[in-house]
Amino acid sequence: MNSFMNLVRAFRKSVDMSRPMDRGQKIKVIVLSVFSVCFIFLPVLLITGLMVKLMTESLMTIGFASFGIQFMFHVICFFSVIFGINVVFSEFYFSNDIEFILPFPLRASQIVGAKFVSVFLMENVMQFLFVISCIVGYGIGARMNFLGWMLSIIGILTLPVLPLAYCGIISILLMAFTRLIKNKDVIQKISVGILFALVVVLVASIGTLQNLDLGEAIGAMAQNDQGFIHVLNLIFPNIPLFVETFTKGNLLALAGYILVNMIAVGMMLLLAELFYFKSVVGLDSAVSSAKQKSMDKILLSARQHSPAYAYFMKELRILIRTPAYLTNCVGINFIWPVFVYAMYKISGNGISLVQLRERYAQNDISLQLIFLLGGIGLAVLLSSLNSICSNAISREGKHFSFMKYIPVSYAVQWNVKVLVGVMFSAFGVLIFYLPACVAAGVPVWQTMLFVILILMGVSFVSYMGIYIDSIQPKLVWDDELGSLRENYNSFFSMAIAIAFVAVVCVGGFFFFRNAGLSIGSVSFVLFMILLMANAVILRITVKSGAKNIMGQEEM
């Protein structure tokens, strides 16, 4: 048991973010953490809990009070499998500690079990919070008794076990009986393919969302117990047992819930004993399996460029050629219209293109503000969501010393990293925003003015993101996805972006709509706000950016 717990602690610490040593930086991290809790975690959890409460109260009238929370738990477990499979594969087979752990006198089940616990703790903090918010929402809506509240604690701590055990079983079986996956690059490419397939399915199904009544849809599924939910209950049998436990105080269901989880984990550990060592030995943990060019060919193909251009191409190639960054940092910039369109379909407030052009031609201030403030808000949120800048220094990882010793100033490196982030973020917004402006008949001068303001918003968030990452970069990671996982800097950046959008864009919409100002005057006010915001963040980065980089320890 001591060996097992030591392994868990070692695996867990290997992916933790470093802690700032400077007192001033510690204070900044604390302030950013509080900001993230207030503007990301609490709003999301409150919305989730409120949604479950409303579903519970609505379905209680037809005798299916627990169906809403059961459906939410299925959604949580489903996404745990989708996003956990990549992490489990990488941690079980391609982490850098494998070659050091294998010579020790440890059983395969000990290694796999410790890695499983490490992944469980690492990947499911947000899931724990979502489960808590769902249970609170149900408990309030259904007026749950004290015993129900006490029994629900068990599921809060253990609900992610079965989805991750599925990921572990799949990974062990695939690695034991196929040689399809030989390095981390293949896993990441498969993940990209799965994500692309999900987006295609989502796009294909959006047409069915017109005038969707979510309450009626959930009610229909609840009454058709042999349909979709019945299949989900077969895939995740822990969920109906857990719901039965705390909604009805059924201790027999609790025993079944515990047994299902134990069987899944036990099967994973048994498969590990049978197949893990033979499948893990000899694997290529390198990121790429491409053939190496000879030094002569490299020298012949080399071209001399300015330091700034060479550094720019280096950043660009890392983002595009690395599947983890291509999916999480670049791809997100181009799939957001799918979700915007889905929200438009669900709302049912259809407006034809002719009506849209007529309203804009009549100087409808509400529509003008939607184009102006909506464009800025979207750009700000997207710039923080893609993590290109809030992950810019963390991406260096063990090559962080490269930043210190190459003959390129910190200012140039800093600005190039920001330029890459601005380029992808702005392109991801403008490639859809400009055609929308043309379709709506927005005058050219307004379109140009709106674009300038959008670029200023992107610039502000990008400089802010890299500054936050310079305070406490995550430099210790096994694979590129590890630089994104549990990198709190992305959350810090997103929290500030959400606060900015809530105050400037959402608050500005209600203020300017009734202020009697023209769209030109509103644009001038926003220009001054964004100018001051950029001036402040530029001053901060010029003053502290290089200092933060020099103060970081080399990995």
pLDDT score of 287: 44
Q: Whole-model pTM?
A: 0.75
Q: How far apart are CA 56 and CA 44, in angstroms?
A: 18
Q: Which residue has the tokens 């409150």?
A: 46
Q: In the prediction, which pLDDT does 475 show?
A: 83
The DSSP call for residue 181 is: -
DSSP 474-495: ----SSHHHHHTT-HHHHHHHH
- What is the pLDDT, as a whole number, of residue 541? 87
**Going by C-beta distance under 8 Å and a sequence separation of 6 or more, which residues neighbour residue 341?**
206
The full length of the chain comes to 555
How much is the pLDDT for 458?
A: 95
User: What is the pLDDT, as a whole number, of residue 127?
Assistant: 78
Q: Where are the domains of the chain?
A: 2-14+66-124+151-205+214-280, 324-331+365-551
Give pLDDT, residue 269. Answer: 94
Q: Which residue has tokens 């105050």? A: 503
DSSP 102: T
Q: Residue 453: what pLDDT?
A: 95
Residue 230 burial (CB count, 10 A):
12
Low-confidence ranges of the chain (pLDDT < 70): 1-3, 12-26, 28-29, 32, 35-36, 39, 123-124, 179-228, 282-304, 338-351, 486, 553-555
- Nearest alpha carbon to residue 92 among 217, 233, 272, 241: 272
Identify residue 217 by its one-letter amino acid code. Answer: A
Token pair in block for residue 103: 């010579």
| Residues 228/71, Cβ–Cβ less than 8 Å | no
Q: Residue 91: its pLDDT value, please? A: 83
Angstrom distance (rounded) from CA 217 to CA 215 = 5
